[in-house]
Structure 1
Amino acid sequence: MTIVDIHTHVYPPAYMDLLRSRDTVPYVRTFPPSTEERLIILPGEDSSNSSTARGRPIGPEYYDFSYKIAFMDQHKIDISVVSLANPWLDFLPPSEAAETAMLINDDMDASCGLYPGRLYAFGTLPLSASVEEITEEIRRLKGMPWIRGVVMGTSGLGNGLDDERLNPVYEALEETGQTMFLHPHYGLPTEVYGPRASEYGHVLPLALGFPLETTIAVARLILSGVFDKYPGLTLLLAHSGGTLPFLAGRLESVIAHDAHLKDTNTAPKRSIWDVLSKNLILDAVVYSSVGLKAAVDVAGADRVLFGTDHPFFPPLEGEEDQPWLSVTTNYKAINDSFGLERGIAEGVLGDNAVRLLNLGFGRQSTGCGLEKI
């Protein structure tokens, strides 16, 4: 059995150099007297008067590929498909975006090549550049040995994924047969969490905001008819597609009853169930058998893929040497759901990813049986 992690992030050295060179959001710097580097992504984090509250600590587990390999070995993961985490490259001025994307994608591909067969990657697009430059990079990525698609946030070019200006991007992805890993970007507007939100840490935006952001983005894609225009387009959705597996039936029903869509003949031609089973792949980063079974029910057992979201959600202080709960919980969900159906479990753990992303088998499996996860 080959275990593949398709939702795992890394900031390659070229990207870290970029962040360290900046003095506006996003950037990486230390705040004396601390020598700890911190990543500042959001404007609100930049205005804090407390250095320890600004952004998040960013250590070598975020950018040193040897740490990724050590994490994989600790958790019996054979292959990882790494991707840049937000904020990607959306913040760059148009004149710099295309060249920077090429630099970072080359760095990502070369870094994966240091561990042949163990690391693959999703490339990053210069979304602030011209559409022509974006599609050129998509076609260039197709020829890189360790790249298997692209990662993109839900904002697209700034107006969401139903923006018609993205049509050439979808066309290029369909033409080259590359998967788009759709990852939430900034979550929902902070005001939806209410005046007491600061009392709840990061629970509301991470547990609810990110999945709902993905759900809304994909619903807009379906409503705009993107999957009618590009029936071969493939999206891998983070966090098991958010709430889409649970709400797909309701969404389908409301579309069928909407007079405006009927009168204007703008309703999507394909059903949501057809899109889910043919165009959408769901990761298994949902931490429970209930959510995992829902993902398999709507997408199919052959279109759900294991992931860890490393290096986010690490063990808390004092537990650093322990297995990551964020990983073992996903292993347990797979075992609880499909432990007696070995074929399904092995598919979710790795076989599906090997087939869908054309990964090859990498090194010999670690031999992690279902009874051990």
Structure 2
Amino acid sequence: MTVVDVHAHVFPSISRQESRILDAEAGPWLREDSGGAGMMSGTTEYRPVGAELWNPRLRLEQMDRQGVNIQVVSSTPLMSGYCADTARAAQWCALANDRILELCATGPDRLVPLCQVPLQDTEAACAEVTDDRARPLRTVPPGAAKRRSPRLRRRPLQLLRYTAATAARYGSTPLDPRRGGRRGRPAARKT
């Protein structure tokens, strides 16, 4: 029997300087030092964390110990960026997705990355999903639809409708490169 953990978080190694892409004062980043490690929001520690959160080899070892074959991973809620302006959030999501892909590349058959998108702007979110067509990102995290803002609760539905329409038009999911999609281009249909 294959055991799949469908809700696992990662916090890829992101520096304080890189966190300023999202927020100059309170951007999320990973602190690693002699005192341990922590998810940071600017200069404030959000919470201490274990290396399995960003070290893929340790994550895979932990999965083996727990009998988990596959994990579907997404960024932690601290990394969402939903309160940032669209331009910053879009740039942040691109960085987060690149780092999550790097992390998952260590175990591509076992670590399934979910796409982080800037939900504050439907067009920007759709652009990130479309841009990720050539990446092994699958979809947006289910928690994205649970935001408190009514405006944000409506947007995941719009995004999913766009994704479904794209998949129907091109005959495959726009997030699955195994079906021939290329970065920023639809999958070619085989005849």
Instruction: Answer yes or no: same fold by TM over 0.5.
Output: yes
Amino acid at match of 2:69: D
Return closer, same or farther for 1:61/1:91 CA change in 2, 3 Å cut-off.
Answer: farther
In structure 1, what is the Cα distance between the partners aligned to 2:18 and 2:127?
22
1:277-288 aligned within 5 A: none
Q: Secondary structure at the match of 1:149?
A: coil
Return closer, same or farther for 1:12/1:142 CA change in 2, 3 Å cut-off.
Answer: same
- CA deviations 1:305-326 (Å, max 9, x no partner) are xxxxxxxxxxxxxxxxxxxxxx
In structure 2, what is the Cα distance between the partners aligned to 1:127 and 1:40?
22
Q: Is the 8 A contact 1:19 1:28 kept in 2?
A: no
In structure 2, what is the Cα distance between the partners aligned to 1:105 and 1:126?
11
Candidates 52, 62, 66, aligned match of 1:75: 66
Q: Residue in 2 aligned with 1:105?
A: 97
Q: Is the 8 A contact 2:37 2:50 kept in 1?
A: yes
Candidates 110, 125, 136, aligned match of 1:118: 110
Q: Is the 8 A contact 1:27 1:39 kept in 2?
A: yes
Q: Residue in 2 aligned with 1:149?
A: 139
> How many residues get paired?
163
What residue ranges of structure 2 are gaps of 5+ in the alignment? 168-175, 177-191
Matching of residue 4 in structure 1 with residue 27 in structure 2: no
Q: How far is 1:16 from its partner?
A: 7.5
User: TM-score, normalized by length of structure 2?
Assistant: 0.67
Candidates 87, 93, 96, aligned match of 1:95: 87
Q: Secondary structure at the match of 1:123?
A: coil
- CA deviations 1:206-231 (Å, max 9, x no partner) are xxxxxxxxxxxxxxxxxxxxxxxxxx
Return closer, same or farther for 1:27/1:159 CA change in 2, 3 Å cut-off.
Answer: farther
Q: How far is 1:99 from its partner?
A: 2.2
Candidates 14, 24, 27, aligned match of 2:26: 24
> Hey, which of these two has a bigger chunk of helix by percent?
1
Q: Secondary structure at the match of 2:7?
A: strand
Q: Is the 8 A contact 1:16 1:63 kept in 2?
A: no
Q: Is the 8 A contact 2:118 2:124 kept in 1?
A: yes
Q: How far is 1:117 from its partner?
A: 0.9
Q: Is the 8 A contact 1:15 1:104 kept in 2?
A: no
Q: Secondary structure at the match of 1:150?
A: coil
> Hey, which of these two has a bigger chunk of strand by percent?
2
Q: How far is 1:80 from its partner?
A: 1.3
Q: Residue in 2 aligned with 1:159?
A: 150
In structure 2, what is the Cα distance between the partners aligned to 1:13 and 1:65?
11
Q: Is the 8 A contact 1:11 1:84 kept in 2?
A: yes
In structure 2, what is the Cα distance between the partners aligned to 1:133 and 1:155?
17
Structure having the higher Rg = 1
What residue ranges of structure 1 are gaps of 5+ in the alignment? 47-53, 178-357, 359-373
Range with greater deviation from structure 2 (165-174 or 103-112): 165-174
Could you tell me the percent identity over the aligned residues? 25
What RMSD, in angstroms, separates the aligned Cα atoms of the two structures?
A: 3.4
Return closer, same or farther for 1:55/1:172 CA change in 2, 3 Å cut-off.
Answer: same
Q: Is the 8 A contact 1:101 1:124 kept in 2?
A: yes
Amino acid at match of 1:81: V
In structure 2, what is the Cα distance between the partners aligned to 1:18 and 1:91?
17
Amino acid at match of 1:126: P
Q: How far is 1:124 from its partner?
A: 0.4
Amino acid at match of 1:24: A
Amino acid at match of 1:108: I
Q: Is the 8 A contact 1:26 1:39 kept in 2?
A: yes
In structure 2, what is the Cα distance between the partners aligned to 1:66 and 1:116?
12
- CA deviations 1:121-142 (Å, max 9, x no partner) are 11100224x3211111122334
Q: Secondary structure at the match of 1:39?
A: strand
Q: Residue in 2 aligned with 1:175?
A: 165
Q: Residue in 2 aligned with 1:56?
A: 47
1:1-373 aligned within 5 A: 1-14=1-14, 18-19=18-19, 23-24=25-26, 26=28, 28-29=30-31, 35-40=35-40, 55-87=46-78, 88-128=80-120, 130-145=121-136, 147-151=137-141, 152=144, 154-155=146-147, 158-159=149-150, 161-163=152-154, 167-176=157-166
